[in-house]
Structure 1
Amino acid sequence: MKKLTSLVLAIGLGSAFVLAGCGSTNSKVSDGVNKMLDTTTQLSKAIDSGDQAKVKEVGPKLEDQWATFEDDVKKDNKDSYGKIEKYLDPTIAGSKAPQLDKEALNTLNNQLTDALKELANKTK
Structure 2
Amino acid sequence: MKKLTSMVLAVGLGSALVLSGCSSTDNKVSDGVNKMLDTTGQLSKAIDSGDQAKVKEVGPKLEDQWSSFEDDVKKDNKDLYAKVEKYLDPTIAGSEAKTLDKEALGTLNDQLTDALKELKEKTK
Q: Report the TM-score range of the alignment, normalised by the length of the smaller protein.
A: over 0.9
Q: Which residue of 2 aligns with 1:49?
A: 49
Q: Which residue of 1 aligns with 2:24?
A: 24
Offset at 1:3?
2.7
Q: Which residue of 1 aligns with 2:59?
A: 59
Offset at 1:97?
0.5
Structure 1 CA distance for aligned equivalents of residues 82 and 11 of structure 2: 38
Q: Which residue of 2 aligns with 1:123?
A: 123
Question: Residue type matched to 1:54 in 2?
Answer: K
Runs of 4 or more, structure 1, over 2 Å off, are 1-4
Q: Which residue of 2 aligns with 1:102?
A: 102
- SS at 2:100 equivalent: coil
Measured against aligned partners, the alpha-carbon deviations of 1:76-123 in whole angstroms (never above 9, x if no partner) come to 111101110000000000000011111110000000000000111101
Structure 2 CA distance for aligned equivalents of residues 105 and 78 of structure 1: 25
Structure 1 CA distance for aligned equivalents of residues 15 and 76 of structure 2: 21
> Number of residue pairs matched?
124
Q: Which residue of 2 aligns with 1:75?
A: 75
Structure 2 CA distance for aligned equivalents of residues 65 and 24 of structure 1: 17
What is the percentage of aligned positions where both structures have the same residue? 84
Question: Residue type matched to 1:44 in 2?
Answer: S
Structure 2 CA distance for aligned equivalents of residues 94 and 121 of structure 1: 27
Please list every run of 5 or more consecutive structure 2 residues that lacks an aligned counterpart in the other structure.
none
- When normalised by structure 1's length, the TM-score is 0.97
Please list every run of 5 or more consecutive structure 1 residues that lacks an aligned counterpart in the other structure.
none
Root mean square deviation, CA, Å: 0.8
Offset at 1:2?
2.5
- When normalised by structure 2's length, the TM-score is 0.97
- SS at 2:75 equivalent: helix
